[in-house]
Structure 1
């Protein structure tokens, strides 16, 4: 009887390195848990998030034009990596959705008053 209960309660534990800025890692870990994402899905979401940042580079807002590609990538990852991963998890890391994620990052950059110099609208 006890063996049956142990079998029912057995959980596979997978070590997963959460990439990105440290200040996003708790939120990302929570997203993975809440999404019940398998390690392979989480890894796909991480890659998709990074690729979406890359895809957002050519359409970056005017105020970010002076940045080099590495600077842009670092800035967007610092500010929005958790959002990019959230969107990528929502589509289970499906690379066919990369344009939508890159567009969402672009919109978020345009709305960020720290990057645009505009006051937030209420």
Structure 2
């Protein structure tokens, strides 16, 4: 769907010194529109019988980029309907207002770009299991 989420992590773990922006995205109910609340909702619902879903790290998200493909730069047989830019769980150490994201339009990660600010809304793709 066309739901987007702001980057938010209230745990104080792996947040780069800033929790980010709560509930600033655009989603169905209007109350779970940040990455933390989305992950919590997915785990509460037991998607695919699992409750250990999380945001991928930057290397995990980069690992599914297909740089030999045109737009989108991902294998659409496995990841249909992929759009634009997705959040990773990785904060940018240099500036706590930003977090790493990956563009599946161009196949690159975006660093210190205005759209990498945590208060901007982006798409989310979750992974499960250990990092």
TM-score w.r.t. structure 1 length?
0.28
Higher strand share: 2
TM-score w.r.t. structure 2 length?
0.26
Bigger radius of gyration: 1
